[in-house]
């Protein structure tokens, strides 16, 4: 009997334990369901607030670090270039011989470098440099034409007759330098007491005026005034250069230039830094560019187009010159440090100052 009793109690205990386990399991499942429902409801509420208030879902720092979009790459590149430029600027400021002008040059060259570096690889390649110079040249020539009209109109006052006399220009020049009307009227020809740089500038202008005046030596038409102020923009000036070139080089008198006539060192001014052989080789390469119809001769029309400052070969030639001078590691491209190392050369080039470069040439 005792054995049977023990057996029944054992089965009872097992049954109770089984019920408790099942009940416990049922309760845990219920709790889990309630928790998941609560989490789901919380998620829906949070996402609703995000959409409603436009809250960013990820860190801007993380985004900028991993974002490979064009905008992000450009931002990262600009930061690197700025850091490099800041290093040079700080070094210049620490140098006791450095001036504020040098620091400003660093900032200017850095900004131009970033704009010209169109593929954003931290280097100025020949194609990029040439394209930048060509664009800046065209902008300058367009601005010169616009400026010429307004300046001519402003000077042509006494009398307003469609031409500008030397006296009108001289009075305008002195007024722009701060002189009074009374002083100007008493110093039309006498420059006594003026600073030396003002006198020299007047002398240079007088010489340029004489070259531009084709009909009457004491007055200029609007086209002649353009040749006086911006000879690089004047079609008449370029045409005169064409005629002078033909007169000097056209040996057989057919109004066209052969390869030999165009490249002959004997009839051309060979630069001091070139041998006659080097000069002839360079001119033969330029002949191929100017001879558009490839008939072996350059006529007036081709020469005019070749000498036009807008012709792309001028920009390419300037770019090659800058690359040759500044490419210290000989990799065929310019880094920002290489440009800054030759800052004085670049500041005087068409990459930075087209007007100054043209006026030095003409």
pLDDT per position as a tens digit, 204-256:
999 999 989 988 999 999 999 999 998 888 888 899 899 999 999 999 999 99
Do residues 133 and 310 make contact, with C-beta atoms less than 8 angstroms apart? no
pLDDT per position as a tens digit, 326-359:
999 999 999 999 999 999 999 999 999 888 777 6
Output the pLDDT for position 41: 60
What does the CA dihedral 77, 78, 80, 81 come to, rounded to 10 degrees?
120
Which of the residue ranges 79-88, 141-150, 211-220 would you say has the lowest mean pLDDT?
79-88
If one counts every other C-beta atom within 10 angstroms of the C-beta of residue 187, the result is 16
Which run of H or E residues covers position 12? helix 2-53
Output the pLDDT for position 356: 79
Which of the residue ranges 17-31, 99-113, 286-300 would you say has the lowest mean pLDDT?
17-31
39 has pLDDT over 80: no
- Name the residue ranges covered by the structural domains of the chain: 1-57
Mean pLDDT of the chain: 80
Greatest mean pLDDT among 104-108, 175-179, 318-322:
318-322
- Secondary structure class of 334 (helix, strand, coil): strand
Omega before residue 250 within 30° of 0, cis: no
Confidence of residue 76 (pLDDT cuts 50, 70, 90): low
**Rounded to an integer, what distance in angstroms lies between the CA atom of residue 348 and that of residue 177?**
24
Output the pLDDT for position 58: 44
**Burial bucket for residue 289 (CB in 10 Å: 0-12, 13-18, 19+):** middle
pLDDT, average across residues 182-192: 83
């Amino acid at each position: 009997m005792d054995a049977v009793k023990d057996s029944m109690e054992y089965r009872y205990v097992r049954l109770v334990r089984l019920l408790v386990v099942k009940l416990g399991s049922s309760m845990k499942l219920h709790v889990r369901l309630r928790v998941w429902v609560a989490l789901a409801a919380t998620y829906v509420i949070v996402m609703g607030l995000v959409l409603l208030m436009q809250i960013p879902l990820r860190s801007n720092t993380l985004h900028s670090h991993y974002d490979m979009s064009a905008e992000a790459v450009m931002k990262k590149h600009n930061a690197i270039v700025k850091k490099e430029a800041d290093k040079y600027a700080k070094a210049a400021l620490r140098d006791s011989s450095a001036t504020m002008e040098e620091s400003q040059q660093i900032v200017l060259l850095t900004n131009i470098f970033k704009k010209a570096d169109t593929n954003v690889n931290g280097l100025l390649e020949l194609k990029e440099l040439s394209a930048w110079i060509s664009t800046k040249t065209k902008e300058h020539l367009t601005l010169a034409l616009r400026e010429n009209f307004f300046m001519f109109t402003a000077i042509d006052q006494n009398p307003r007759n469609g031409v500008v006399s030397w006296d009108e220009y001289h009075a305008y020049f002195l007024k722009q330098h701060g002189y009074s009307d009374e002083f100007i009227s008493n110093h039309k020809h006498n420059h006594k007491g003026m600073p030396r740089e003002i006198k020299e500038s007047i002398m240079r202008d007088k010489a340029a005026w004489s070259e531009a005046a084709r009909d009457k030596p004491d007055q200029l038409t609007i086209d002649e005034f353009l040749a006086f102020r911006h000879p690089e923009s004047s079609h008449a000036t370029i045409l005169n250069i064409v005629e002078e070139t033909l007169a000097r080089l056209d040996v057989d008198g057919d109004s066209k230039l052969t390869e030999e006539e165009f490249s002959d060192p004997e009839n051309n001014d060979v630069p001091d830094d070139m041998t006659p052989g080097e000069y002839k080789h360079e001119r033969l390469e330029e002949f191929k560019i100017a001879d558009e119809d490839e008939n072996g001769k350059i006529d007036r029309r081709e020469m005019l187009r070749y000498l036009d400052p807008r012709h792309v070969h001028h920009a390419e030639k300037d770019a090659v010159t800058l690359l040759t001078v500044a490419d210290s590691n000989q990799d065929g491209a310019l880094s920002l440090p290489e440009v800054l190392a030759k800052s004085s050369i670049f500041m005087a080039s068409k990459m930075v100052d087209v007007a100054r470069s043209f006026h030095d040439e003409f």
